[in-house]
Structure 1
Amino acid sequence: MKGEGSAKECGKSGTLDSCNFMRQFRDLESRELKQLTAAQFMEVWDHYDDDGNGFIEGTELDSFLREFVSSVNQTDCGPEVVSDVMLLELRECFLEAYDDNQDGKIEIRELAQLLPMEENFLLLFRFDNPLDSSVEFMKLWHQYDADGSGSIEADELKNFLRDLLREAKKSQEVTEDQLIQYTDTMLQVFDSNKDGKLQLSEMAKLLPVKENFLTRQVFKGSTKLTKEDIERVFALYDRDGNGTIENEELRGFLKDLLELVKKDYDTKDLIDFEDTIMKGCDFNRDGKISKKELTMILLALSKQAGED
């Protein structure tokens, strides 16, 4: 909805009944929210993410909460419907319930938990099924980057979404038109640089990992790194149990390392990072990471974090 400035300003001023943006998505009789299509969900997101920074926060969040609550009424709107005191309580309750990472703002995944959406589209957010580790992520990346271009183009993303929905047993059959709409919508959501494809860090937001283990406090210099910590990390990445971290295991480990220092990254960044890390830590030059080499990396990481 960006670009429709007058409509957007009207929605925030709340001076007319038609100016509550959320009211159009409620049933006229029951006043319940209707099930949103992928396109409608993006309309809601774009309307309230006014600055386009990928979060609904501050005055944007206040505007959404005021209109979300007052949209239940058929005519009432404006700030007087939701007092400042009520808004404060509402914001606290809302963030407690939906702000999963507790950063005080709402991401698109978190908003998707609140609004009723068509089931298949909601499944694409994978709330209950994040990947175990970045090793699995890198395997999927190479599987769907079929042309090896270093990015996931629209057709490759469509294939990924189709397979993702097929894996969801409760999913209904998705038509080709729906799939095209889902692909376009997910590109709108996750293609931060708007180049029509997903780079590595953008795909990582679409397909989250349960936890980047390397962000734990033990690797931030606040506590002593133990042998058990190193064993846990090694087991996390040595998925085949052959005693070395290699190939996609290595890419997964390096992806997690890279995320500690760079928010937006692509495959070239990962290759350059791999070259730097392996030159300094692959002592026997076999292109793999042994447990001893991993220990040196983790100790250096913990020491650097402690100095910072």
Structure 2
Amino acid sequence: MSHTLIESIDAVIVDLPTIRPHKLAMHTMQQQTLVIIRVRCGDGIEGIGESTTIGGLAYGNESPESIKTNIDSHLGPLLVGQDAANINAAMLRLGKAAKGNTFAKSGLESALLDAQGKRLGLPVSELLGGRVRDSLEVAWTLASGDTARDIAEAEQMLDIRRHRLFKLKIGANEVSADLKHVIAIKKALGERASVRVDVNQYWDESQAIRACQVLGDNGIDLIEQPISRINRAGQVRLNQRSPAPIMADESIESVEDAFNLAADGAASVFALKITKNGGPRAVLRTAQIAEAA
């Protein structure tokens, strides 16, 4: 199988403007920076992967610049000369030699899967055992920060039958103002849509206990990461008390985190982020933990 050896790995930073400002609790995005990874193999096949984070360092421990540097200096050289067709061995090699860096590892794993799919003429889903559904509903994020504008945008999406799941980014404003904003949108949309919120860790536990009660009582379907990922005991208490399901997002920085959250009962829903777990194969391990729990 020597013709499938990895010959070179390149990481390229690409800046894309967003179609509108995207307001999160910790950051407003005007552009999205991607790291595109190209893995070239001895058989002429090229795999493409992507490592993307948001808000500089506001979201995770890696930035586009650190991802590129670590791939160029540390991770890439570990893979050059290895068999591109054996993704298990390649990713174990990275796991042993490098701590963390799940975003960078994810882009590399994606590129190796892409190359192997091209080599065998198969979609990546088939490489991973086969897809179990043909479609997934996609949520639309309402993040203008303006209640009337958000309602109008949601109404338009419902009219053209494009989205019926809406996620609201909250946490940056005073809690009562955020609750008013969310409840007004849910009231306007009623049963025609599912409304969920993402707090990005911006509440403390006492704020969250009160706010989750109000949100649950007003028909909000999901509350994502209301408090700090570091406050594990608080997450357990909140998960027991909230009438709406709590989703862990920032709390999951690895497959091991997912196992610990499930064991502690610290969340009832997991955000399955390919990059934060370390790749498509890695995120399936987190999904299996969620299923088992």
Smaller-chain TM-score bracket: under 0.3
- The structure that has the greater radius of gyration is 1
In terms of fraction of residues, the more helix-rich structure is 1
In terms of fraction of residues, the more strand-rich structure is 2
TM-score, normalised with respect to structure 1: 0.22
